[in-house]
Amino acid sequence: MNSRIAFVAFNTFREAVRDRVLYNLIAFALLLSAAAILVGQISIDVERLVVLNLGLTAVSLFGVVIAIFIGIGLVSKEIDKKTLYTVLSRPLRRWEFVVGKFFGLTGTLVVNTIFMAIGVFLALLYVERHFDRADWSVVAALYFIVLEFLIVCALALFFSSFSTPIMSAVFTFALFVIGTLADDLRGLAHNTTGIGGVLMTAAAYLVPNLSAFNIVNQAAHGDAVAGRLILYNTVYALLYSAVAISGAVLIFERRNLK
Partner 1 sequence: MVAIEILDLEKTYRVGFWHRRPKLALRPLRLTIDEGHVFGFLGPNGAGKTTTLKLLMGLAKPTAGSARILGMDSNDPRVRAQIGFLPEQPYFYDHLTARELLTYYAQLSGVPASERRSRVTAMLERVGIASSANVQLRKFSKGMLQRVGLAQAILHDPRVVFLDEPMSGLDPMGRREVRELIQQLRSEGKTVFFSTHILSDAEALCDRVAVIHQGELRGIGSVAELTQHSHGKVEIIFCANAAPAALTNLGIEARISGEMVNVVVLQEQQDTVLDILRREQIRLISLTPVRSSLEEYYVEKLQPKESSMGATA
Which residues form the interface with partner 1 (CB under 8 A)? 3-4, 7-8, 11, 14-15, 18-19, 81-93, 254, 256-257
d(Cα 24, Cα 150) in Å, to the nearest integer? Answer: 22
Closest distance of CB 107 from partner 1, Å: 16
Q: In residues, how long is the chain? A: 258
Q: What sign has the CA pseudo-torsion 149, 152, 158, 164? A: negative
Closest CB to partner 1 among 221 and 254? 254
Q: What sign has the CA pseudo-torsion 198, 199, 202, 208? A: negative
d(Cα 168, Cα 76) in Å, to the nearest integer? Answer: 10
Closest CB to partner 1 among 18 and 129? 18
Closest CB to partner 1 among 49 and 92? 92
Closest distance of CB 64 from partner 1, Å: 23
Closest CB to partner 1 among 26 and 238? 26
Closest distance of CB 108 from partner 1, Å: 13
Closest distance of CB 153 from partner 1, Å: 20
Question: Which segments of 181-258 does DSSP mark as H helices, in order?
Answer: 182-190, 194-206, 216-220, 227-254
Query: What distance, in Å, lies between the first and last C-alpha atoms of the chain?
Result: 30
The rounded Cα 213 to chain-centroid distance in angstroms is 11
Question: Which segments of 82-193 does DSSP mark as H helices, in order?
Answer: 85-88, 94-128, 136-160, 165-180, 182-190
Closest distance of CB 11 from partner 1, Å: 6
CA-nearest of 246, 71, 50, 241 to 157 is 71
Closest CB to partner 1 among 3 and 191? 3
Closest distance of CB 242 from partner 1, Å: 23
Closest CB to partner 1 among 28 and 85? 85
